[in-house]
Amino acid sequence: MHYMNAVLTPTSTTPTPPSPIRRTHAPGPVSRWWGLPLLSEMKRDYLGFVTRLQRTHGDISYMRLGNEHAWDLMSPDLAREALVTHADALIRWERGIEVFAQVFGQSVLVTEGATWQRQRRMLMAAFTPKQVAGYAELMTTAAQDAFDTLVPDNQPHTMVTMDALWSRVAMDVILRTLFSRSAQQQSLVAIEATQTLSATAYREMFRLFTLPDWLPLPGKAAKRKALRSLRHLIQGHITERQAAIAAQPDQQSRQDLLGRLLALRDEATGTALSSQEVFDQCMVSFQAGHETSATALLWWSRLMAEHPAAAQRARDEVRAVVGNGTPGPQHMAQLPWLTATLKEAMRLYPPVAAIMSRRTTAPLVLDGWHIPKGAMLRITPWVLHHDERWFAQAHAFRPERFLDGAPPIPKGAWMPFGAGPRVCLGQHFAMVEMTLLSAMLLQRFTLELPEGAAPCEPELHVTLRPKQAVVLRLTRVDRANPIAH
């Protein structure tokens, strides 16, 4: 059976029945040999494993993995009850923090408690809708530079590896947004480094601890090189900017993200981010802001090629709203169908498909089950997004789910950006970026699958990427008369 058919089997036949309060023995798989066979199965196919777990045991299940008491929460209500209602009794899973801290330091993605609250409060000022609107021109300039040279002038179409295209465009966007710079050689090195670190982080999540990076082991040299490349790139830009500010202290700070990070002040204390905090936040913005957007746009492109009628409807909408001009944040509310195609792509293939893991710092009761202090809670957006109870024909691409007038989607059933206090800080940035870039691509090209193209199989790293390269035929659109040549 094809992977997608196996994973997307409807789950509506196994609802969780009502239950009395404070039950303590939840259903779940047998944890033989300290759960090592379960851990091995999860490592081979995490999404398939959790989907089968829900099908067999329902919306909440328990397993023992070594010393861990792990609970999987697989309904919107349970996910929100944990992440929103009981947010104050949860912290990030320590192993995840340990792995991410190797790349992101003590950034907002990693910290807890008062430090996290201070960082989050300060950083929100750099990601308000007004501030994000100021980044829009940087985004569209990066896209225009990439798209306008994509198809040679003497050819109507060309075959394009979309993975490379979107990685390059998204990397250019984040370089311009962070540093007001675009450097092609830096982009290529940074793309390779971010992908290496993503694959490495996913592998290390399934290990009890991380061996020192200086050891001569498989993958360690590539990880060291990737970390050196990114740290050198980001620290170089920060040092250059700090030198420019020192030389001309009265000069107005640039309105890129680095300029805003350096200018941030805590409203409560008046203090700025430390030099290390600025560096760490740049690392987070660089890695997360590039990889997740590129991955979402990659899946969206493939789906647009598979569904030409939906793509044409989106192109017509962009044409009617923007014409041949450059789209901007002011157009987003007027592009509901294009927005719906992006949201549906993120439903089918959420860039962060797993794993939202938390540690309980106090006893909880969820759906009548007593969850002790110190337990691990796991929430997998992939399972929520493919549940037939919340999304009819959950395996199908149906953007109309996200239009006004469609049946309401339960809160927590669609969460590509997470939920609760730790919801993605850059979600508005990501939606603006994806909407503008996808609109510009549709203005210029139609997207077609090559004859005999194989189905795309998802492969989970930190982000969910196609296992095979996505190659599409891009045909130039006559922008005076938007019908493909």
Whether residue 431 contacts residue 96, with contact meaning beta carbons closer than 8 Å, is answered with no
**What's the gap between Cα 15 and its chain centre?**
29
Name residue, tokens 């861990």. 68
Tell me how far apart the alpha carbons of residues 400 and 69 are, in angstroms, rounded to a whole number: 40
What's the token pair of residue 137? 């021109």
- For residue 106, what are the CA distances in angstroms to 120, 227, 278? 12, 16, 10
Q: Which domain holds residue 53?
A: 3-476
In a domain, 485, yes or no: no
Q: Side-chain half-sphere of 351: how many Cα atoms within 13 Å?
A: 23
Q: Please give the pLDDT value at position 202.
A: 66
In a domain, 260, yes or no: yes
In a domain, 278, yes or no: yes
Residues 6+ apart with CB under 8 A from 316: 482
Q: Would you call the peptide bond into 379 cis, given omega within 30 degrees of 0 as the criterion? A: no
In a domain, 484, yes or no: no
Structural domain count, the chain: 1
Q: Please give the pLDDT value at position 210.
A: 67
- φ, ψ of residue 408 in degrees (nearest 5): -65, 140
Strand duo 376-379 + 356-360: pairing: antiparallel
Q: Please give the pLDDT value at position 251.
A: 62
**What's the gap between Cα 330 and its chain centre?**
24
| Percent helix, percent strand, percent coil in the chain, to nearest 5 | 55, 10, 35
Find, among 353, 2, 277, 324, the residue nearest to 148 by Cα.
324
Which CATH number characterizes residue 264's domain? 1.10.630.10
pLDDT in tens, the chain (485 residues): 333 333 333 334 444 444 444 565 678 888 888 778 888 888 889 999 999 999 999 999 999 988 889 999 999 999 999 999 999 999 887 776 676 667 667 777 777 888 878 888 888 888 889 888 988 998 999 899 889 888 887 788 899 999 999 988 988 888 888 888 776 666 777 777 777 777 776 677 666 666 666 667 667 788 788 888 888 888 988 898 888 888 877 665 667 888 888 888 887 788 888 888 888 888 888 777 788 899 999 999 999 999 999 999 999 999 999 999 999 999 999 999 999 999 999 999 999 888 678 999 999 999 889 999 999 999 999 999 999 999 999 999 999 999 999 999 999 999 999 998 888 888 999 999 999 999 999 999 999 999 888 888 998 877 899 999 999 999 998 766 644 43
Give the CA-trace dihedral at 287, 260, 128, 182, to 10 degrees.
-50
> Amino acid identity, residue 18?
P
Find, among 312, 345, 374, the residue nearest to 71 by Cα.
374
- For residue 215, what are the CA distances in angstroms to 123, 223, 317? 36, 11, 55
In a domain, 149, yes or no: yes
In a domain, 482, yes or no: no
Residues 6+ apart with CB under 8 A from 283: 103, 104, 105, 107, 230, 231, 234
Q: Please give the pLDDT value at position 89.
A: 93
Tell me how far apart the alpha carbons of residues 103 and 230 are, in angstroms, rounded to a whole number: 9
In a domain, 481, yes or no: no
In a domain, 399, yes or no: yes
315: alpha, beta or left? (left if phi > 0; alpha if psi -120 to 50): alpha
Q: Please give the pLDDT value at position 8.
A: 34
